[in-house]
Chains A and B, each alone.
Chain A
Amino acid sequence: MTQEAAFTATIEKDQRIEPRDWMPDGYRKTMIRQIAQHAHSEIIGMQPEGAWITRAPSLRRKAILLAKVQDEAGHGLYLYSAAETLGADRGDLTRRLIEGRQKYSSIFNYPTLTFADVGVIGWLVDGAAICNQVPLCRSSFGPYARAMIRICKEESFHQRQGYELLMTMMRGTEAQRDMVQDAVNRWWWPSLMMFGPPDAESPNTAQSMAWKIKRHTNDELRQRFVDMSVPQASALGVTLPDPDLRWNPEREHHDFGEIDWSELKRVISGDGPLNAERIEHRRRADEDGEWVRSAAAAHAAKKQGVRG
């Protein structure tokens, strides 16, 4: 059997490709890009919520938020490690991020204006991420699939914590309830955009589905997210900002309004509210840390020399 036939047979049997297995160049490149974008999203995603750690209004919420942002650093760390099993290098991937040559999830280019945003990010953004990521636990690339299992477990914890914060705030003052509704209004549509362009305009989907590194189309996952979120919004007592949102008994799904795809394109292409700030923050941290990493490398080299 040729190497390519063995690869294809492995995929067809729903078994995993491991780092030392032969794989087509296109598969390797696509996996590196997919994993790196996911890792970048975790690291950039620390910023919008990280900004509220020092300002959290109770010590319990502070501890929850700090632990969550720490989890995101951990997700980034093992995703970069998964990419490294394919021959990528973490430092190089970070450079690609800060030079704008690799993308991250556009959702993190929106600002977190109030503490309710922390809850809504947990509920909607992490909820959408879970819908996207649960199928990736069955990705054909072994290290990524295994990383996703752990990540999804933690994301589902974050999602519940976010929802619980919103539930608590909705039982609070009128001002707090307004804060929650305002945050829902601002995050609902960007959350729907997290699933990517409509299937008709998603050129890579077919190949990715064939390689089993993508298991459902963008529109399927988006629909699933809408159907899950509607009863949750109603239990919470908030209104989702879409006048066209209603149950369709024939489809047995919710219909929803047209997404502003021009906004998604604008934010992806770098013109979102905070693209420049997010990258600049990451670039500065990388630059400020350079002397520290050099020192660690120099120290390690000295120790190596001593041990001979």
Chain B
Amino acid sequence: MSFDDAYQALTDHDDDARWAYGTGFADPLAGVPTALPDGVDHADLAAYCLMIGDDALIMSHRLQQWVTRAPELEDEMAIANIGLDLLGQARLLLTRAGEAEGGGRGEDDLAYLRDPQDFRHVRLAERADADFAHLVARLLVFATWRLALLDRLSASGDPVLAAIGAKGVKEVAYHRDYAAGWVVRLGDGTELSHRRMQAAVDAVWPLIGELFEAHPVELRLVGVAVDPSLLRAEFDGVLAEVLRVATLHAPGPGAGPGPSSAGDSSAGDGSAGDGPVRGRDGFHTDELGEILDEMQGLARATPGGVW
């Protein structure tokens, strides 16, 4: 097939300069041994990869829903970028889950052919955003928590998880920065934006407790998984500082983060790891059903299709 003139003019060079971004994308798993580490329960490792993979997959889906609706072009770019980063993390983690499981399922089998109760993300990830303030509040909480998590994951005893964590740290540091910037601008912007930003913070607050409840799988995978209850202090410190600069306040006692939280008492104190831990055990809101109808519909409607 001959690519004539117009294409030729762009592509007849041998060097990589013809691609706007070059071709130097690093494979985050290059040189990383992919054998499952010794002494690790494969089912637990698979379950854990699904947990933090589904967090990224579902959060990415919510970000994708903002594309073409952002308040400014710079935000179109940023939101798509964050969605892409998280989608990339999800793909690596679902692939690792499939490897650990050993049943031949790949990233697409896991993303497209599981039912709602088999998803393992925290419920923060699936919440729809009523407006831009809700998006940035949710993203601030998600990214602050995930950055602390990935930072520790980069020292995981599973070399694949460690590599995914190290890659993700660079990405999610930007996500947190982007969200914090907007929380501050909206909190300390106009009277209207302040009111909306505070309402968004209030709305996201009840979903925070769940992020730090250790799941039995996480506790069993010592040295491989991250115990989320250890991330609380860092998270609280960052949130407190962002809210202060944004002239916002943490919702009052009974709703706020911190060990004395009464709003999440039904979930246990989060340290024993045997309480009902919600999303991690497959308990989701109806919103997940809507997400999966949208995400999985076409893939399921074309059995045998290759894409």
Contacts from A to B (Cβ < 8 Å): 43, 46-47, 50, 53-63, 66-67, 69-70, 73-74, 76-77, 80, 90, 115, 130-131, 134, 137, 150, 152-154, 156-157, 159, 165, 168-169, 171-173, 175-176, 224, 227-228, 231-232, 235, 281, 284-285, 288-296, 298-299, 302
Contact = CB atoms under 8 A, between A and B. Distances in A.
A223 B233 CA distance: 66
Nearest to A44: B68
Given A130-B7, A153-B10, A168-B307, A74 B1 contact: no
Nearest to B61: A54
B298 A172 contact: no
Given A63-B88, A115-B298, A232-B1, A292 B132 contact: yes
Interface in B106-136: 107-108, 111-112, 131-132
A176 B7 contact: no
B5 interface: yes
B91 interface: yes
Interface string B171-184: 00000000000001
Contact of B111 (A47, A59, A70, A156): A59
Contacts of A169: 305-307
A137 B10 CA distance: 11
B6 A130 contact: yes
Given A55-B297, A73-B73, A294 B189 contact: yes
Given A73-B77, A154-B20, A296 B306 contact: no
A156 B132 contact: no
Contacts, number: 179
Given A59-B111, A66-B80, A231-B1, A173 B304 contact: yes
A173 B301 CA distance: 12
Contacts of B19: 153, 157
8 contacts: A46-B67, A53-B67, A57-B307, A66-B83, A175-B305, A288-B131, A298-B189, A299-B188
A294 B306 contact: no
Contacts of A54: 61, 64-65, 294-295
Contact of B10 (A56, A63, A134, A298): A134
Contact of A168 (B67, B80, B112, B306): B306
B150 interface: no
Contacts of A63: 84, 87-88, 91
In the complex, the 3 A-B pairs of residues with the closest C-beta atoms, listed nearest first: A289-B71, A295-B189, A295-B193
A304 B18 CA distance: 41
Interface in B257-307: 294-295, 297-299, 302, 304-307
B72 A293 contact: yes
Contacts of A298: 189-190, 193
B164 to A, nearest CB: 15
B74 A296 contact: no
Nearest to A76: B73
